[in-house]
Amino acid sequence: MDNVDTSFIPDLPTGGGLAAYRKRANFDWKRLRLIFETEQALRIKYNVWRRLESDPLFAHASRTLPMDEQKRLAAMQVNRMKHLELVPKEIENLNFSEKTKYLMHINEALNSYSPSLSVKIALGVGLFNNAIRAMGTEKHTKYIDAAWNREVITCLAVTEVSHGSNTKRIRTTATYDPSSQEFVINTPDFEAAKCWVGNLGKMATVAMTFANLITADGENHGLHGFLIPIRDPKTLIPYPGVLVGDIGEKSGLNGIDNGFVVFTNYRIPRDNHLNRTGNVTPDGVYESVFTDPGQALGAALESFSAGRIGIMQESANTLCSAAVIAVRYAAVRKQFGPEREGEEMPIIEYQLHQYRIFPYLAAACVQKIAVEELTNTYLQIIARSQADSNGFDILTQNAAEIHAIISASKPRITWSARDAIQETREACGGHGYLRASKLGQMRSDHDPLCTYEGDNNVLGQQASNWLLRQWGAKELESPIGSVTFLQRRETLLQLQFPQLLRQSPLESWEFALSCYEWLLCHLMSHTTAHITHQLAAGVHRFEARNNSQVSGARELSLAYAEYFALKSFVTHVRQLSLEESYARVLRVLYDVYAMWLLESHMTTFYVGGFAVGGDFAAAVQHRLLQSCAQLKDMAVSVADAIAPPDFALNSVIARADGLLYENLQNEFMTNEGAFQRPSWWRDVIIPQGQEKSKL
C-alpha cells in the first residue's frame, strides 16, 4: 500500500474550522480515499468534475431556475457531453466489464453534480441501449449508434397512468396489420396513457415502448418492446396520431421532462418491433424466437439490473454527500458547553449528535465498498455468460440470486440515503434549511429513487420470496454464496448471544455477521411457518404472502441486504494488506454501522430468543457508542476521503475550507437582490395614519 499514487487528488485547503479535527486523524485522507475507490474510478471522476467546473455551462445557478429553464439547461448540458470528451476513444478496446464500469464512474460523477443531468443521459443513452440489446435484434443496432450520436432522442415508456409496479397489466396495444406490414399502436383510454416517461415531455423523438402484441387473429401475445417515433427530429413536432405532453412540475428533478403520450391508430413499421424473444412474420404469424436464449436472458437481465445498480451507486454517493455535510458542519458549529461563560463545544462532541450522524457516515463508507463489490459480481456474471459457451447455464444459475440481492439492496440503500439527508438537515439546524446548503434539493432529487426502477416495497417482496424459496428448497441454489450459511441452519437457529460471545467475541468481524445469520434463519423460519399456517387454513397463497410481510418478510429482505453489504465489506477489507491506522478506521466504521444495524433488529433478537435479559442490547449499544467516540476525531478526515469536491458538493455550510461563517456571510451578502427593496413595496405598505417618532 506504500506506493499508491495520490498525486492526482487535489489538495484540500488548510486552516479553517476543520483543521483541528483534521490534525487529530493519524492517517492520510487521500490514501483512505484510495481504499474506498479504485484509482481508475477516482481518476475518471476527478476528470469529469474538472471538466464540468471549467465549462461555464455547468456553473451552478444561485437560485432555483424556472422549470422551463431547468429543462433547457439540462438538455444543453446533455448535448455538451460530446464536446467535453469524457469518454475516450480507447474505451472501445476495453472489455465489457471495464467499459461498463468506465461509463458507470462517469455517471456517478455527473450524478453528484446534477441528478437531472445524469438521469437524462441514462435514459437517452445507457438504459435505452441496454434495452435495445436486451430485446432487439441485428436490425436495431443502428438505433444504438443513433442514440450515441444523439440523432435520436430516446426514452423508455413502460409505466402507464394506472399501472406502475404491475407491468404485466399494461394495456397499450400494438396490433399487427399484415396488409401494410405495420403495427398499429393504440392507447385504449387515458388510464393506459404512458406517463412519467423521462425525456418524453418535451424532446424525445423515439420511445422504447412496452405494449401488448396482438396479431390479426386478435390473439394477445403479451408484452413486447417497440420503437415508436414520437417527434420529427428536425423540428421536434409530434407526429399525427401521437398526443404527447409534459406531465408538469414535480417535487424535484425538474431538469427532466417527464411526459405522457396517447397513441391513436398510430402506425409504425414492422421492423420497429424489438423481436429478440418473439417475432411476427411479414404475413402476421407470431413465433417465439429462442434461438439464443442464453444471450436473450442475459441481456434482459442486464437491462433490468444495470439501472438498479446505477441507482445504488448514486445512492451510495448521496449518502456520502449527506454524511460529509453533517460531519463538516458538526465539527465547526459550536453550541452550549459545560460552563456558563466558558467555551462552547463543537456539536460533534455531543454523544447524541454522534449517534445521529455517524451511522450515516459509516453506512456511506461501508456501502461504497459493498456496492462496488456487488457491481463487480454482477458484471463478472454477465461477462462470463457472454464468454462461455455455457452462458445460458451460468446465467440461470446466478440470475435469481443476483436479482434477489439487488431487489433487497436497492430499497435498503435508497432508504438509508433518504434518512441520511433528513437527519443531516436537522443536524445542521436552521442553516441546513438554506437552499445553499443543498440539502433541500438533495432530498427532493433523491426521493423518487425509492419508487422508480422498482418501488422499494414491491422489490423487497421479490427478494423475500426468493429467500423463502431457498429456505423451503431441498437443495440450496446460491452460486453467489449470499445464503450459503443456510447449510448451517439447524445450528444457527439454536444460537444464542452468550454462546456466540464465546465463539466470536464482540471485537471480531464475525460477531455481527453471525448475529445476522441467526436473524435471517429465524426470519425465514418464522415467515415460512406463518405462511404455511395460513395455507393450511385455506388462505390463498397471494394473500398468505401479503399477510406475512409485516410480521417477517419485510424485515427479512432488509436484513438480507444488510448482511450482504457487511459481508462484502469484510471480505474486501480482509483482502487488503493495510497499515494499522487504516485498518483501524475501517474497523471503527464497520463497528458503528454494524452495531447500529443490529440495534434496528433488536426486537427480533429478543422475540426470537437469541437474547434474553439486558446484556445483548447493552453490549451492542455500548460498542456502538464507544465506536462513535473513537470515530469522532477521525470523522472529518473520513469525510474528506468520501467527499466530492466543493464544486460537486456545492454546499455553503460544508465547504472543505471549514470557513463556515465566512462562506455564510458571503452567501447572505451576495444572494440575488439581498439588499434590494422589493419592486412591489408600494403594494404592501399600509398608508401611515399619523406620524409617529420612529415607531
Ligand X SMILES: Cc1cc2nc3c(=O)[nH]c(=O)nc-3n(C[C@H](O)[C@H](O)[C@H](O)COP(=O)(O)OP(=O)(O)OC[C@H]3O[C@@H](n4cnc5c(N)ncnc54)[C@H](O)[C@@H]3O)c2cc1C
Is residue 592 within 8 A of residue 366, CB to CB? The reply is no
Please choose which of a copy of itself, ligand X, none residue 197 contacts, taking the beta carbon within 5 to 8 angstroms, the exact cut-off set by kind: ligand X
As measured in angstroms, the least distance from the Cβ of 428 to ligand X is 6
What, of a copy of itself, ligand X, none, does residue 64 touch, CB below 5 to 8 Å by kind?
Answer: a copy of itself
Does 164 bind a copy of itself (CB under 8 A)? Our answer is: yes
Contacts with a copy of itself: how many residues (CB under 8 A)?
144
The CB density around residue 127, as the number of other CB atoms within 10 Å, is 23
Query: Do residues 310 and 131 lie in contact, with contact meaning Cβ atoms separated by under 8 Å?
Result: no
Instruction: Based on the shown chain and the rule CB under 8 A, indicate whether residue 475 belongs to the binding site for a copy of itself.
Output: no
| Angstrom distance (rounded) from CA 33 to CA 516 | 28
Per-residue binding letters, 555-574, with a copy of itself (x by CB under 8 A): --------------------
Task: Return the range that interacts with a copy of itself (CB under 8 A); candidates 170-178, 296-304, 390-398, 676-684.
Answer: 676-684
* Nearest Cα residue to 492 out of 523, 471, 514: 514
Q: For a copy of itself, give the closer residue by CB, 8 or 661.
A: 661
Residues 381 and 306: beta-carbon distance below 8 Å: no
Backbone angles phi, psi at 179, to 5 degrees: -60, -40
DSSP label at 681? H
By CB under 6 A, name the binding residues for ligand X.
Answer: 123, 156-159, 164-165, 196-198, 253, 258, 333, 335-336, 347, 350, 352-353, 426-427, 429-430, 433, 448, 451-452, 455, 457-458, 546
C-alpha distances in Å from residue 590, one per residue of 156, 275, 415, 512, 525: 39, 48, 19, 10, 28
Active-site residue flag, 53: no
Q: Which 604-623 positions form the footprint of a copy of itself (CB under 8 A)? A: 606-609, 611-614, 617-618, 621
Q: What is the dihedral of CA 203, 205, 208, 210, to 10 degrees?
A: 80
C-beta atoms surrounding 15 within 10 Å = 10
Residues 478/486, Cβ–Cβ less than 8 Å: yes
Q: Is position 159 annotated in a ligand binding site? A: yes
- Residue from 352, 474, 507, 575 that binds a copy of itself (CB under 8 A)? 352
> Residue 499 binds what, of ligand X, a copy of itself, none (CB under 5 to 8 Å, by partner type)?
none
540 binds, among ligand X, a copy of itself, none (CB under 5 to 8 A by kind): a copy of itself
In the complex with ligand X, the residue whose CB is nearer, 347 or 585, is 347
Which partner from the list ligand X, a copy of itself, none does 198 bind, CB cut-off 5 to 8 Å by kind? ligand X
Grid cell listed for 472: 423451503
Regarding 190 and contact with a copy of itself (CB under 8 A), the answer is yes
C-beta of 253 vs 611, nearer to ligand X = 253
Does residue 632 touch a copy of itself according to CB under 8 A? Answer: no
C-alpha cell at 687: 398608508
CA distances 620 to 17, 307, 512, Å, are 33, 36, 10
Closest separation in Å from C-beta 359 to ligand X: 15
Cβ nearer to ligand X, comparing 65 with 619: 65
Q: Does 237 bind a copy of itself (CB under 8 A)?
A: yes
Q: Strands 206-214 and 154-157: what pairing?
A: parallel
Report the 3 state secondary structure along 292-322.
Answer: CHHHHHHHHHHHHHHHHHHHHHHHHHHHHHH
Written as nine digits, the cell of 44 is 475518471
Residue 498 in the binding site for a copy of itself (CB under 8 A): no
- Provide, rounded to whole angstroms, the least separation between the CB of residue 471 and ligand X: 21
Is residue 146 at the binding interface for a copy of itself, with CB under 8 A as the rule?
Answer: yes
Q: Are 200 and 258 in contact (CB under 8 A)?
A: yes
d(CA 116, CA 254): 7
Q: Which is nearer to ligand X, 165 or 397 (CB)?
A: 165
Do residues 626 and 596 lie in contact, with contact meaning Cβ atoms separated by under 8 Å?
Answer: no
Binding mask 392-431 for a copy of itself (x = CB under 8 A): --------------------------x---x--xx--xx-
How far is residue 200's CA from residue 153's CA, in Å, rounded to a whole number? 9
Does 448 bind a copy of itself (CB under 8 A)? Our answer is yes
Q: Which of residues 578 and 620 has its CB atom nearest to a copy of itself in the complex?
A: 620
The two most distant CA atoms of the chain are separated, in Å, by: 94
In the complex, the smallest distance separating the C-beta of residue 134 from a copy of itself, rounded to whole angstroms, is 20
List the grid coordinates of 172.
397499450
Q: State the nearest-atom distance from the C-beta of 496 to a copy of itself, in Å.
A: 13
In the numeric block, which cell numbers belong to residue 58? 455547468
Q: Which of 131, 417, 420, 439 binds a copy of itself (CB under 8 A)?
A: 439
Query: 414 a known binding residue?
Result: no
Question: Which among 453, 555, 562, 667 is annotated as catalytic?
Answer: 453
What's the min distance (Å) between Cβ of 39 and a copy of itself? Answer: 34
Of 139 and 574, the one with the shorter C-beta distance to a copy of itself is 139
The CA R_g of the chain, rounded to the nearest whole Å, is 27
Tell the smallest beta-carbon distance from residue 48 to a copy of itself (Å): 21
Among residues 311, 331, 513, the alpha carbon closest in space to that of 417 is found at 311
Q: Residue ranges for the binding site?
A: 159, 198
Residues in binding site for FAD:
159, 198
Which positions are catalytic? 453
